[in-house]
Amino acid sequence: MSRLFALLLAGGGAIFAQPSSTITLSNGLQLRIEAQFGQPTGQQTLRIEMARASGDSFYRIFRDQNGLAVFAYELGIGLSNSGDAVELTAKPTLTDFAARFPNADGGKPVPTLSDTRSLPPLDSGGQTEIGLFELEGVGLRVVDTVSVELGANAAGGAASLDRMRLAGLKLRINGNSLATIGPGGPVAGKYAMFYIPGRGAYIMTAQPVEAPGFIKAGSIDGAKLKFTWNNETIEADAASSILGGAGTGELWVKLDPAFRPLGNWTKARSADGPPKTDEFFAAASDSLSWWLP
């Protein structure tokens, strides 16, 4: 922390947080994570990076202007047994993180939480704060705020020229209808995806993307999208227009065949608890980090 302290003393500006990270799932869950930095007196920028840790957890990494990590922790996400609340666990980063990001802090151990924190369950409309680190004298107090919506209010907003909205999807592969057993609520974001058990996750966007593996593979026309992958034609009909404006556009696609949701937070919500087997689901976010490692 001494290096960060020195950086923050070097000037009279402010620390700027990245935009919050939001995901909507077709099971009616919307999760939003936003960082607050207090009232810093130093002139530095902290950049927040999210990276998938496992099927139900993510790393939150705070980097300085040189790209070095000054703090990191792992956030686990799950549904309660009844499916009507989200359970969060904030955990210190351990050997798995160090092996994956060996030079995150120039070869030194990255500061992290001192212990595991199981947070109170959040029902719809609830939010909780996770205190991370604080530096007295420079006004820096870093806190992550997590908020949850469950149900109809978790649709993620409307479609736009670069923001897809998927609702009530009906899929066909080479003209054959695919049984999409599972929740079918609307999702919306710059990046959308649907997961097909046995095939993996198809991640899509209506704008060119620099991330590796994306191919301009299809198009969007009103409430329909269509693309070709590995000589298969995949079509989806939605209940409403997928894009705003004229409603037409090109489609960039990436397939992650290894993707498999290991936690229960993507499962259907019901009084009987989440299903025991994999099921189709759709999701959308303004960040690729929800799905890509």
pLDDT above 90 coverage of the chain, percent: 48
pLDDT(87) > 90: yes
pLDDT(215) > 50: yes
Rounded mean pLDDT of 270-290? 79
Q: Is 154 or 255 the better-scoring residue by pLDDT?
A: 255
Low-confidence winner among 144-148, 164-168, 224-228, 258-262 (lowest mean pLDDT):
258-262
pLDDT(260) > 50: yes
Element (H, E) at 97: helix 95-100
What's the distance, CA 293 to chain centroid?
11
What is the reported pLDDT for 12?
33
pLDDT in tens, 159-186: 667 789 998 889 999 999 987 765 578 8
Q: Is the CB of residue 48 less than 8 Å from the CB of residue 19? A: no
Residues 6 or more apart whose CB falls under 8 angstroms from that of 283 comprise 23, 24, 25, 26, 187, 192, 193, 194, 195, 266, 290, 291
Report the candidate in 164, 199, 196, 166 with the shortest Cα–Cα distance to residue 181.
196
- For the range 14-19, what are the long-range contacts, defined as Cβ-Cβ under 8 Å and sequence gap of 24 or more? 14/40, 14/43, 15/40, 15/42, 15/44, 15/45, 15/46, 15/140, 16/45, 16/46, 17/46, 17/48, 18/47, 18/48, 19/286
pLDDT tier, 65 (very low <50, low <70, confident <90, very high otherwise): confident
pLDDT(279) > 60: yes
